[in-house]
Structure 1
Amino acid sequence: MPLAAQDQATDAALEDLIPDSAVENPQDWAIEEFGQGPDETDLGGEEIDELDPETPLDDSPEISVQWPDDLQLSPIEIDLPEEDIQFADLDVAGPDVAFTEADLVRLNDSLTLGFPQLDPPFTERGDFVERFEALSTIEELDGDGENIAQLAARAREDEELLAELLRVYGFYDGRIVRSIGTTAPGGASANDGATPNPTVRFDVIPGERYRFGAIDLGALAMAPDAETLRRAFEIESGEPMQSDRIETERFDLDTALGEFGYAFARIDEPQLLIDHERNEGDLTMPVTPGGKYVFGAVTSSDEDFLSGDHLATIARFDPGDIYQRSLELDLRRAITATGLVSSVTIDPREVSAPRGDEPGVVAMDVGIERADLRTIAGAIGYGSEEGVRVAASWEHRNLFPPEGALKVRGILGTQEQLLGVGLRKNNFGGRDRILSLDAYASTIDSPAFDANTAGLLATYERRSTLLFQKPVSWSIGVELVATDERPPAVNGVAAPRSTFLVAGIPGFIQLDTTDDLLDPTEGFRVSANLSPEVSRNRGTQSFYLRARTDASTYRRVTDSVVVAGRVAFGAIPGTELENIAPSRRYYAGGGGSVRGYGFRQIGPRDTLGDPSGGRSVVEGAIEARIRTGLFDGAVSVVPFLDAGSVSPDVIPDFEEIKLGVGVGLRYYTGFGPLRVDVGVPLNPGPNDSPVAVYVSLGQAF
C-alpha cells in the first residue's frame, strides 16, 4: 500500500509541492499539471531515434525545477547540557564543537584537556586530571612519534576513561567532546617543513554533580554503639557523590566494628541506584553487627611447642577486654616474629553469645605450623687497619620450649678470636622481653693491647626488632670478667701481663623516632650506656663508672638525598687510668668511629708510641647518602667527614683532634645496605696509613 505524502515526516511546503496524487499516479499527475508532453509534430515532424540502453547519453536534456520560495528547513541544534550551566565562548565549526576560551591543561605534546564549564565550577578538577594522567593511554606515548590513526584509536579509549571518571565523581550527565588535529613540533611554523605532530583535545563538560540520596545501612542502627559506628561511615545524604568514597568508608566502618567488639560483623556489597530525575544516588549497604564480645582464652594447636598460656603472655590483651580486631592481628604478627612458625592462623570462636547488655565471650584459636628451628649464620668484615673478621654461629631457637634458644658463636679474625655459648629466653615475663646468659672466652691482639679474657654476662632487655621497632628500648644486666692483659710487644719482647677482675652492672636506654631500623631517613636516636664497675688489680680495688651517650639525626633533603649526623661522648670518672683494664678504656678510630684511621688508633700513646686509651672520648660525623640511578636506584654514594678525640682525663682536653674524610658506596638489599667506605686521614700520625677501607653490613650509624 503506497504511503501518503502527508504521512511522512515532511515539511508542510513540500506537502503542497508534491500532493498524494503525484505519489499514487505520477504520469497522470504530470499530464494534468503540465499538459501533454511533446509529440512528433512538436519536434518538426522528426522521428525520435530510439535510444540504445548500452549507449551513454551525449547530450542530456536540461531539467529545471523551480525552488519554492517559502521552503523552510528546521535549524540544526547542538545538544548541550542544561541551560543553567554556563560555558566559555564557543565556535561551531564543522562537526566538532571547539571551546575557544576553555581552561586548558596540556599533559604532553599529543594530549590536552579543556574545561569550558564555568558555572557550576568543577571543584574536583585537580584530582580528576591527576587520576586521568595516571591511566591515560595517550599519556603513555608522550612523544613516541605516533601517527593520527594510532592516536585516534587511543583517543577512543581515553574518551571512555574520561566518561568513567566523571561518573566516579558523580557527574552522570557529563559529556566529552573530542577533536583530533596536528601541530608543528616544538612551536615551529607549519611553513618550516617540519613534520606535524598529531594531537587530541578533550573538552570535559561535567554538568551538574549528583548527590547522595537515601542511605540504608541495614541493621547498623540496632547496635549498642550505633551512633559512634555511624560516625565512622562519613557519607551523609545530600553530600556530593563520589563512588570510590563508598569503599573507603566501608573499610572505615568495618575497622570501627572490629575495634568496638563486633567480632562477627558482616558488611555486604554496596549497591548504588542512580535516579536521573532527582540527580541523586540511593546507597544500600546491608550491615549485620552480630553483637559485642570480649576476649576469652588463647588456645594453641601445638601445646607442647608454643602453649596457649605462653601465647597469652605475648598478646596485648587480657581475658575480659573488649574484642579488638587490631589486637588479634597484632598477636598474629607477634607469633610470626618469634621465628618458630612457618604459618599462623587465628580464628575467633564464640564461647558464649551476648545476652542483653552483657557481651559474649570469644576465644582465640591459634593454628601454627612449625618452622625449621636450626640456623647457621655468618658474616665477613674487613678493615685495612684491623684486617679480616669472620663471624659464624649455630642456633637452635626452641631447644627449651617455649622460645628457649641455644646459640654457639665464634669469631676468627686478624686481631680477635672468640668462642661463646649463649642461652636466650624470648618473651620472658612479657612481650618482647628477653632474658639471656652469655659465656665466652676471647683473645685480642691489637696495637693497643693484648688480652686473654673470659666473661659471663646476664641481661634482661627490651630491644627493637625488624618487625617491631620500639620508641624506647632498654636493658639491665650483670657482668663478670677476668682478663689477663699487657701492652703490645716491643721489638718482639713481650711486656709483663696484668690480671684484672671486673664486676659491673651495665644498663642501656635508647629513644628512637627514626622511620627505619637499618636505614633511617627521618627522625633521631639518643642512647645512654651506664655501667658502675668494681675492678681489682694487684691488690688494688677501684670503683668507677663507664658512661657513654650517643645521638644521631637523619633528615631527607630531597627524594634522593638523606643527610645524617652523629655525636658521641664517653667518660670514666672514679679512678685513675692505670686502674682501668686497657680493654675497658676508651679508644677511637675505625669503621664505626672515625673513618680514615685504624681500629683503636686514636688517643693517648705510651712512651713506645702505642695507643694507651683514655678516660674520655668525643666523636662526630656527618655524611650525605645520595641515591643514584644505578641498578634501579639500589646504589648510593656517601661522602663523609668524621672527627674524634680521646683524652686521658675525664674532661676532654682536645689536644689532638683527628679528622677523616672519604666517600663510600651503599648497595641496598632486602636485609639492609652493604657498606664500603674509603677514608683518608686529614692529619695522620706517623703510624697511620694514607688510606683506610671498611666493608660491612649496615650504615655506619
Structure 2
Amino acid sequence: MKKGPTNQSTYDVAALLTTTELEFLPNSYKRAAGYISKITPGFYVLCACVLLIFCTPYPSGADEPRLQVALISFIGNRSFSDSRLKGLMKTREKGLLGIFEKAYYDEEIFESDLKRIEDFYRSEGFYDVQVSKGEVKQIGPKLIRLTVKVHEGEPVRISSIDLTVNGEKNTSWHDELLKLIPLKKGQRFRIEDFDKTEKNILKYLADWGYPKAQVKRKARIFKQSLQARVSISVETGPPCTFGTLRIEGLNRVNPKEIWLNLQFKPGERFSARKIQNSQRKLYDTQLFTYVDIRVEGLDTEETELPVVITVVEARPYTVRAGVGYGTEEQLRGKLELEARRFLGDGRTLRGLLKGSFIEQLAELQFYQPHFPGKDQSIEWNTGWDHEDQESYTVNTFYSRPRFNVKISNKWSWYAGHNLEFNDLTGVDIAPDTDDLLDRQKDNYFISSIVSGFTGRYVDDILDPNRGFQIFSSTEWASSLTGSDVAFIKTTWEGRAYIPLSSFVLALRARWGTIVNLENDQKIPIFKRFFAGGSNSVRGYPYQKLGPLDSEGNPLGGSSVLEANVDLRFPLKIKGRSFQGVLFFDMGQVYPGQLSLDPTDLRYTIGAGLRYQTPIGPIRVDLGYQLNPPDQDFFGPLQIYFSIGQAF
C-alpha cells in the first residue's frame, strides 16, 4: 500500500472539491421482443442471433474502422461497484448485445476518465487512491475490452467533530445540530457530506426563526494517521419575525385569495418552511403563472423582516385538448374548458369531454376553495358516462358533491354523496352463466355515501422516483339512502418508490372487496372488480384476470388483490435517454366477498421501455404469464403501449 509523507500534512478541503459528471451507461441488451406476434419462441432466438452477428454497426467508407469498446471491467474496486464507476466515465461500452450504439475508443477521453475516477475516490475519502489503465484486449473485429486497475488504499475517517454555537460548546442547539448533519464520528470523510453540513444547519435555523445565521466549517486531513478533524462554528444571529407584507402584480384576483393561502402572518416567528409552503399553495390555486416570495432586510440589523410577494395572474379561461393512443382504449381524446375566478374569488368551473373506444364522458365540475374554513373545500361533479366494456354496456347519469379536508401538505380526507342512475343496455355473457347476473333488471338507481383519504409524498406526480402514495375509498349504499342496491365497497392501495443509486424500485399493492348487504339481490356487473391490463397485472389482457364465462368474457368479482414490483433503470439508445423496466406482477379476482386465497394468485414477469416526454413517459411493456389458467381465449404473452408509468 502506498504510504503518505512521513510528516503530518494538512490539506484545505475546499481545494479538494470536485465536480463529477454522472452519465449513466446503457444496458443495450434490452432489445428483447420488439416485434410480437404468434410465432414460436425459437424464432425470436434466431432473430436475436442474426441481429448480433450481422447488425452491429461499423463505420463505413474510406476511413479505417475505429476500435469500439465492447466491455469495461475493473480490478481492485472494493468500495464502489463497476456500474457506479462506469457512470463517471465518458468512455462507453457496447454491452452484451451492442447493436444500438457506437462506442468508439478514444485514448485522451479514457485517460481523463481515469483522472475523474481518482477525483471521485478522493471526494469519498480515499486520498491515497491510484487508478491506472490495465489490459486492453481485443475480443473481436475492432472490438476491445478495457480493464481499469484501482488501488483504493485506506479511507480517511472522521476522528472528531468540534461544534460551537455562538462561541459555546454546550447549548440547547448542540445535540439537535449534530443529529441533522451527515458528518458522523468514525465514518468516512466525504466532501458531499462536508458541503451538506452547512446547508442543513442554515436550513434548520431558518425554519426556527434564525434566517441570519452563519456557519464556518473547517476540516484538517491527516493522511499518515488517516484521520479528519472537523470544526464547525455557528452564529445563530438574532431571532426574527415576519414584518409587513406587500403584494405586487395583482390586477383582477382578490387579495383575499393570497391571504387565505399564506402559511404565515406578520408578527409571527420567521420560518423558511412556511414561505416555501405558501409559494406552493399559491401555485396550486392555478390563479397565477408566477409566484415569488422575497424576504427583505436579511443584510441589516432589523429583526422584523418585510416580505414582498410578486405574482403574475393567469388568464381567466384555459382550453386544453389532447389525443393519445393505448393498447386498451385505442384512440382517445380530451377537450377541457376551465373558467377560473368563476363568480369571483377562487372558484373554478370546468367542462370536460373525453372519449375512447371504451368510454365516453361529458362532465361539469365546480370547485369552491376555502369553504367553510381555510383548509376545507367543496367540489361537485355531475355528468354522463358511457362504458362499452367487453361484457357489458352501461350509461350512467350522476351527481357527486364532495367535501374535502386538507389535513396536512401530504394528507387529505373527503366525504360525499354519490347519486347515479345506471341504464344497463347490454350484457354480453354466455347463457350458461345466467345465475351470476340479475338479467331481470336493466336500470339501477344507486344512492350512496362515499368517503376516503389520500396520502401523497412523491417527487414527481407523473414519474415518481422517491416517496410513497396511499389511497383509500369506501362506498356505502342502502335502502336507508334510497338505493336500489345495498352494498359496502372498499378499496385500499399503496405505492412506494425507493431510489437505489441510478435504479428505482417501485412497489404497488391493491386490495378491494364489495359486500352484498341484501342476499336477495346481486351486485351489478358494473360495480364489480376487474383486473388485468397495462395498469394492473401485466401479462393478462384488459379485465381478463379472474372469472370468465365459457366464451372468455370477464365476469368480474367481489374481491381483488394485485401486487406489482418494478425495477426501473436508465438506458441510452443511439444517444437518447430511455428507461428500462423489469417487472413482476401478481393478482387475482375472486367471486366471493372478503376472499383472499394466495394459492389462486396468478404471476407474471416482463420487461418494458419508457421514453420521457413533457406529458409523461411513453411506455411499452411485454408481460408473460408464469402460471397461466387453463383456457384458450388468450395467449401467455401480452404487449401494452400507453403513456405514463404503470403506477
TM-score by length of 2: 0.62
Query: What's 2:77 paired with?
Result: none
Q: Distance in 2 between the 1:663 and 1:576 partners?
A: 44
Q: CA 1:227–1:640 in structure 2 vs 1: closer, same or farther (change >3 Å)?
A: closer
Query: What's 1:566 paired with?
Result: 509
Check if 1:382 corresponds to 2:270. Answer: no
Check if 1:365 corresponds to 2:304. Answer: no
Q: Indicate conservation of the 8 Å contact 1:647/1:653, yes or no.
A: no
Query: What's 1:309 paired with?
Result: 256
Query: What's 2:274 paired with?
Result: 327
Query: What's 1:482 paired with?
Result: 421
Query: What's 1:340 paired with?
Result: 287
Q: Paired residue for 1:698, among 616, 628, 644?
A: 644
Q: Paired residue for 1:414, among 346, 354, 357?
A: 357
Q: Distance in 2 between the 1:326 and 1:433 partners?
A: 21
Cα offset, 1:335, TM superposition? 1.9
Query: What's 1:31 paired with?
Result: none
Q: Distance in 2 between the 1:567 and 1:605 partners?
A: 21
Query: What's 1:40 paired with?
Result: none
Give 1:696's aligned amino acid.
Answer: S
Q: Distance in 1 between the 2:478 and 2:352 partners?
A: 28
Q: Distance in 2 between the 1:288 and 1:628 partners?
A: 43
Q: CA 1:230–1:306 in structure 2 vs 1: closer, same or farther (change >3 Å)?
A: farther
Q: CA 1:587–1:309 in structure 2 vs 1: closer, same or farther (change >3 Å)?
A: same
Query: What's 2:397 paired with?
Result: 454
Q: Distance in 1 between the 2:427 and 2:133 partners?
A: 81
Query: What's 1:621 paired with?
Result: 563
Q: Indicate conservation of the 8 Å contact 2:503/2:570, yes or no.
A: yes
Cα offset, 1:482, TM superposition? 0.9
Q: CA 1:295–1:499 in structure 2 vs 1: closer, same or farther (change >3 Å)?
A: same
Query: What's 1:173 paired with?
Result: none
Q: Distance in 1 between the 2:640 and 2:214 partners?
A: 57
Q: Distance in 1 between the 2:268 and 2:444 partners?
A: 54
Query: What's 2:490 paired with?
Result: 547
Number of equivalences: 520
Q: Distance in 1 between the 2:271 and 2:527 partners?
A: 49
Trace 1:466-615 onto structure 2 (pairs within 5 A): 470=410, 472-488=411-427, 498-511=442-455, 517-521=461-465, 525-534=469-478, 541-555=484-498, 559-560=502-503, 562=505, 564-576=507-519, 578-604=521-547, 610-614=553-557
Q: Indicate conservation of the 8 Å contact 1:233/1:250, yes or no.
A: no
Q: Which moved more, 1:673-682 or 1:244-253?
A: 244-253
Check if 1:441 corresponds to 2:384. Answer: yes
Q: Distance in 1 between the 2:133 and 2:536 partners?
A: 62
Residues 346-370 of structure 1 show CA distances to partners (whole Å, capped at 9, x for unaligned) of 34579xx99xxxx975553322111
Check if 1:423 corresponds to 2:366. Answer: yes
Q: Distance in 1 between the 2:548 and 2:421 partners?
A: 25
Q: Distance in 2 between the 1:700 and 1:345 partners?
A: 35
Can you give the 5+ residue segments of structure 2 that lack an aligned partner in the other structure? Answer: 22-87, 92-104, 138-159, 182-189, 219-230, 431-438
Q: Indicate conservation of the 8 Å contact 2:17/2:191, yes or no.
A: no
Q: Distance in 2 between the 1:509 and 1:286 partners?
A: 42
Q: Indicate conservation of the 8 Å contact 1:229/1:253, yes or no.
A: no
Q: CA 1:345–1:435 in structure 2 vs 1: closer, same or farther (change >3 Å)?
A: same
Give 1:325's aligned amino acid.
Answer: A
Residues 12-43 of structure 1 show CA distances to partners (whole Å, capped at 9, x for unaligned) of xxxxxxxxxxxxxxxxxxxxxxxxxxxxxxxx
Q: CA 1:381–1:134 in structure 2 vs 1: closer, same or farther (change >3 Å)?
A: closer
Cα offset, 1:585, TM superposition? 2.0
Cα offset, 1:546, TM superposition? 0.8
Q: Indicate conservation of the 8 Å contact 1:488/1:610, yes or no.
A: no
Q: CA 1:627–1:652 in structure 2 vs 1: closer, same or farther (change >3 Å)?
A: closer
Q: Indicate conservation of the 8 Å contact 2:586/2:601, yes or no.
A: no
Give 1:441's aligned amino acid.
Answer: W
Q: Indicate conservation of the 8 Å contact 1:675/1:696, yes or no.
A: yes
Q: CA 1:366–1:684 in structure 2 vs 1: closer, same or farther (change >3 Å)?
A: farther
Q: Which moved more, 1:444-453 or 1:246-255?
A: 246-255
Check if 1:116 corresponds to 2:8. Answer: no
Residues 131-156 of structure 1 show CA distances to partners (whole Å, capped at 9, x for unaligned) of 57969xxx999996569xxx9x9xxx
Q: Distance in 2 between the 1:253 and 1:343 partners?
A: 29
Q: Indicate conservation of the 8 Å contact 2:243/2:306, yes or no.
A: yes
Secondary structure at the counterpart of residue 634 of structure 1? strand
Q: Distance in 2 between the 1:461 and 1:562 partners?
A: 32
Secondary structure at the counterpart of residue 309 of structure 1? helix
Q: CA 1:298–1:561 in structure 2 vs 1: closer, same or farther (change >3 Å)?
A: closer
Higher RCO (C-alpha under 8 Å, 6+ residues apart):
2
Cα offset, 1:545, TM superposition? 0.7
Q: Indicate conservation of the 8 Å contact 1:389/1:414, yes or no.
A: yes
Secondary structure at the counterpart of residue 630 of structure 1? strand
Cα offset, 1:376, TM superposition? 0.6
Q: Indicate conservation of the 8 Å contact 2:577/2:611, yes or no.
A: no
Secondary structure at the counterpart of residue 311 of structure 1? helix
Cα offset, 1:252, TM superposition? 6.3
Q: Distance in 2 between the 1:606 and 1:185 partners?
A: 64
Q: Which moved more, 1:514-523 or 1:444-453?
A: 514-523
Secondary structure at the counterpart of residue 572 of structure 1? strand
Q: Paired residue for 1:294, among 220, 241, 265?
A: 241
Check if 1:647 corresponds to 2:594. Answer: no
Q: Distance in 2 between the 1:183 and 1:246 partners?
A: 31
Give 1:366's aligned amino acid.
Answer: I
Q: Indicate conservation of the 8 Å contact 1:644/1:659, yes or no.
A: no
Q: Distance in 2 between the 1:611 and 1:145 partners?
A: 61
Cα offset, 1:618, TM superposition? 2.5
Q: Indicate conservation of the 8 Å contact 1:298/1:312, yes or no.
A: no
TM-score by length of 1: 0.57
Q: Which moved more, 1:570-579 or 1:502-511?
A: 570-579
Give 1:389's aligned amino acid.
Answer: R
Residues 290-321 of structure 1 show CA distances to partners (whole Å, capped at 9, x for unaligned) of x6443356553356644443323322234542
Q: Indicate conservation of the 8 Å contact 2:354/2:362, yes or no.
A: yes
Give 1:697's aligned amino acid.
Answer: I
Cα offset, 1:323, TM superposition? 1.8
Q: CA 1:447–1:658 in structure 2 vs 1: closer, same or farther (change >3 Å)?
A: farther
Can you give the 5+ residue segments of structure 1 that lack an aligned partner in the other structure? Answer: 1-102, 105-114, 170-175, 177-181, 188-210, 236-241, 272-282
Query: What's 1:395 paired with?
Result: 338
Q: Which moved more, 1:392-401 or 1:403-412?
A: 392-401
Q: What RMSD in Å do the two structures reach over aligned CA positions?
A: 6.1
Q: Distance in 1 between the 2:619 and 2:397 partners?
A: 32
Q: Distance in 1 between the 2:442 and 2:353 partners?
A: 26
Q: CA 1:679–1:257 in structure 2 vs 1: closer, same or farther (change >3 Å)?
A: closer
Q: Distance in 2 between the 1:508 and 1:622 partners?
A: 23
Q: CA 1:693–1:473 in structure 2 vs 1: closer, same or farther (change >3 Å)?
A: farther
Secondary structure at the counterpart of residue 365 of structure 2? strand
Query: What's 1:205 paired with?
Result: none
Secondary structure at the counterpart of residue 117 of structure 1? coil
Q: Indicate conservation of the 8 Å contact 1:389/1:412, yes or no.
A: yes
